[in-house]
Structure 1
């Protein structure tokens, strides 16, 4: 993520928060005359909305190069592009006037000098889309036999797999002047990434974030949920964020929900796991010990109450060269030695964000005091919780002012 401010600016920002004279409240700021420490603390916390409104997505997306492939690229080429760039998804570009973009979008790249349209972004493709296409082998009656047919299936154009996963069904853009607060609302609904135009053709006074959006720009940047989480992590000790970051993770619905947490056993083959994840629209599952197959050919089991050994994610295979993919699909998920990011139920939002950023993972498994799986917190949950905290504190502040 791009550096948002110089160290000197950060120092000045901290000084402005803390003040230089007079009585101090719990956050280090000055108390107004006749103002109680409790009221002053609430004022400081409610300032989070202001901070998130002031920050624009153009700042966070600055320097985030958009990785793209042409619509004619094969899946093998696309997988190699993911590997080379170290990204989780690539944009698919096509000539203008021949395609309808994912979700009905019309995201165009134009010539900066003439304004003539050069390309049309028709969707995003991630490793789960590619693996879902491979996992369909043998189900479509085309003579393929699973992993043995991988070469032929990896030779199809990337445009044919757009929308194989739920994430690929839509293509989102965010106006450069969209506030971080509004961006968080979009990302809190499960949108993982969005394109941010370098120069937007939309009216600056009408800032929108919609799937069916006509946009034209000389170029685009990529903004992801992880960029937002990294911003929150970098500013976790700012006065305005302290309250939201200290909230227990039980405020994240997925952590305390009674719904099953789908998992796979350590003996499950990668190919079978991918097929099950594709059917259930899951991007990742925990690998748990002591989990026998549920019977009836079921691969996914309820992992609650079992010990988490590893995490299996579709992005794990992003680091696998295409020439090695066939052999990888035939091994067990236990052979993917990805570190598990887990948090106790008593952990705070800030502690979970620390784990997510430190391990560069998109979800943290919640475990009980015995270390057994109890739930999951995703980046979507974390963004939603922080945004709800900001909105709630602003409403609380308005209540204080109204009563004054």
Structure 2
């Protein structure tokens, strides 16, 4: 298990350093100057991000969506769709499993403290897509002249396996991440800036230290905190963070020049295989000819749409089978029509969030993993349209677009609408954190030299 928290000794050193700065200033300039320097050291972007704890973000989230380890992939896909989430925790009886990365994340009874379940991993849509893509690989390896048709026919069998068998198919699934409740938002951003998209946070924790994979975390309940939660926090504190949010994504180093795309005419199964190989959950769809390689260098090409794991999640399993062989453009059209035809229940209207297990019907839609209701998702057109920004767009504008449109990446285009890169939430969080630390060093330098 990977767990991030500020070690007690490191925290004491941090506080001691701040105390030394204040003491030095007090000796030189008196109490009034000491108070001013103290405010300087605590002010700014780092101060805001250090003071807020990750448990504050977790408390606002609904209860954890999970599936039992015996659930089939078909049931798991239905649960993802029903709950409108990108990943689900997989729960098993305690004492029988080794969790992802050797983790021991246990849920205990709040009254007795007895362990009730063990979270053995996290499964997202990319794990399921990787498993589907392997069906086509197997058929081709057997020399089937109708390999594509064989892959589609085999989908029912591939989706009937237990979800526990696909844990770790994607890079993120290899490790079950947890964050201690007292972890600051700044330290949470360090984990998320490395490509981790979500982590479990216990609302209460008895753990005081980390001992590699030997740590046993037992809590009466967990919540899922995501990259989007942190981005929404940054947006909510725009006034305090105006200095960094007013800088452009290019100047702050948030633009990744490498951007891979798929042509609109590429078959869905081929796009899935390409995304699986590159560990991508979304790619821009470009107006280009289908070549020998489904995944193409998108730079300089015209983006017309986005193809993502969310599109595949929103496609019912029964419909996914016949749609694997159609083009990405046609698939997007069909999924868009399906979204428009469904009217999920809005839990916010009743204040009740239904439990979601492997047998939850598609109609029982609650808020998604970022707290939006089904009605809000439809109004925002979740991932249905292309969302872009310019290299000169500010970080604040990028955050606003990502949070409002609920996308995890913005395609960077030039004045002609041609792709020049991508800004992901990972890039944004890394850039903001680096800027915060740089500002913090400057503030401490000023306080020390005054």
- TM-score normalised to structure 1 length: 0.84
After TM superposition, give the deviation of residue 325 of structure 1 in Å.
Answer: 1.1
Question: Residue in 2 aligned with 1:399?
Answer: 445
After TM superposition, give the deviation of residue 99 of structure 1 in Å.
Answer: 1.1
After TM superposition, give the deviation of residue 294 of structure 1 in Å.
Answer: 3.8
What are the superposed Cα offsets for residues 330-386 of structure 1, whole Å, 9 maximum, x if unpaired? 221113152111001100100001110111000001111211100001101111111
What's the secondary structure of 2:177's corresponding residue? coil
Contact 1:170 1:211 (8 Å CA) reproduced: no
1:318 aligns with 2:313: yes
Matches within 5 A, 1:351-370: 351-370=397-416
Correspondence for 1:380 among 418, 422, 426: 426
1:69 aligns with 2:74: no
After TM superposition, give the deviation of residue 47 of structure 1 in Å.
Answer: 1.9
Matches within 5 A, 1:43-192: 43=40, 46-64=43-61, 65-140=63-138, 145-192=150-197
CA distance in structure 2 between the partners assigned to 1:226 and 1:395 by the alignment: 27
CA distance in structure 1 between the partners assigned to 2:294 and 2:388 by the alignment: 23
Question: Residue in 1 aligned with 2:302?
Answer: 307
Contact 1:45 1:393 (8 Å CA) reproduced: no
Correspondence for 2:394 among 348, 358, 365: 348
Gapped runs of 5+ residues in structure 1?
1-32
- TM-score normalised to structure 2 length: 0.75
Larger RCO: 1 or 2 (CA < 8 Å, sep 6+): 2
Aligned length: 358
Contact 1:172 1:209 (8 Å CA) reproduced: no
After TM superposition, give the deviation of residue 46 of structure 1 in Å.
Answer: 4.8
After TM superposition, give the deviation of residue 63 of structure 1 in Å.
Answer: 3.6
Correspondence for 1:222 among 221, 224, 228: 224
Gapped runs of 5+ residues in structure 2?
1-31, 334-383
Contact 1:184 1:387 (8 Å CA) reproduced: yes
Contact 1:80 1:321 (8 Å CA) reproduced: yes
CA distance in structure 2 between the partners assigned to 1:377 and 1:299 by the alignment: 22
After TM superposition, give the deviation of residue 49 of structure 1 in Å.
Answer: 1.0
Contact 1:365 1:373 (8 Å CA) reproduced: yes
Question: Residue in 2 aligned with 1:19?
Answer: none
CA distance in structure 2 between the partners assigned to 1:133 and 1:283 by the alignment: 14
What's the secondary structure of 2:250's corresponding residue? helix
Contact 1:293 1:301 (8 Å CA) reproduced: no
CA distance in structure 2 between the partners assigned to 1:241 and 1:346 by the alignment: 18
CA distance in structure 2 between the partners assigned to 1:147 and 1:212 by the alignment: 42
Contact 2:179 2:188 (8 Å CA) reproduced: yes
What's the secondary structure of 1:168's corresponding residue? helix
Matches within 5 A, 1:175-254: 175-203=180-208, 206=209, 213-236=215-238, 238=239, 240-251=240-251, 253=253
CA distance in structure 2 between the partners assigned to 1:196 and 1:209 by the alignment: 18
43-52 vs 117-126, which moves further: 43-52
**RMSD (CA atoms):** 2.4
